[in-house]
Structure 1
């Protein structure tokens, strides 16, 4: 049985779900950046030929990151239900969904940061060290600034992925556009809601991608 909504109710539900999605993506994106950036730097500098060679730490962190990247997000959502309840006291709602979303995204972003730093010319770091610069100077003054366009491109890619993760969080009642599509679109056979959520998701992804590309071009031009 197909159920339709009045336009006022439809736009109210769609607007609320969009705000919830933006909240999840924004908060999870901040946590992903906060955890993934230093982790990516640590993965890079702890290599055998890195600034701080710590092969065993690199091996352990690399293994954990690979495990985090290998798990399908739906499986991760379900597996982290006890941890999510421990952290926020509930497994329902947008705030609860941020926990698995961030934990699923930061290993991916850490690898992006590591690869971005790996693309920086070795001669630049060697020159700073030869002039008496410390390893911290190399990281803060050479590696991160030179890799910034690639890192911003990685942030853009990660945010697009987070939008998809936030939609999948609707499977466990995480709120947002995914939850709206499941409860009002799929379960109630409402094509109006399904089309609306798809359109909004496409607009969000296109907006993030266009903004990210513009920032990357601006940074590359300044270099």
Structure 2
């Protein structure tokens, strides 16, 4: 079941989701370029800096697995806005971190919430976009990765050089506020999944995916990328 959206409303929806995806991808990508600055600021080596980078990825993966057990129990728009808001707060905590340990914890939280945001963006594409336009919609969402690479990272590094290393995280946190306001306007409520028959096992949907060979090929392809 899909909402019937006008062409203009669908375009605004996809741009909004792409913007939210942009924020969390940039939050992940900015760490490596900031490496020399952070190592000097906190007097840490490459080993400790590696934990800062890895904490985001591991938290995102773990949160994604846990989220699979409960996300279908809530209305999608409200849950996305809450999780995205928590992601923004975690990113703000990164900007305000007074020590390496605080930054490490904040990065882990940002990764956890950001990972769920990324998954929910793709879920909403499946919920709201008809099958015949879903590939195009996914392509539009995927441009957020390229935009984060060619524009987000250079702008963030410029901010870090002009001000200090905290500035890029403040920029990302501010962008979450903007996209929450936009999403509140353009994202429709998604409730139809709440009326579907509930699975008895929390990981039942995941097991169904893993039993499908086409899904396994797609997951393997994504892993190799």
Asked if Structure 1 and Structure 2 have the same fold, meaning a TM-score greater than 0.5 normalized by the shorter chain, the answer is no
TM range (shorter): 0.3 to 0.5
Between the two structures, name the one with larger relative contact order (CA 8 Å, sep ≥ 6). Answer: 2
TM superposition score normalised by structure 2: 0.35
TM superposition score normalised by structure 1: 0.36
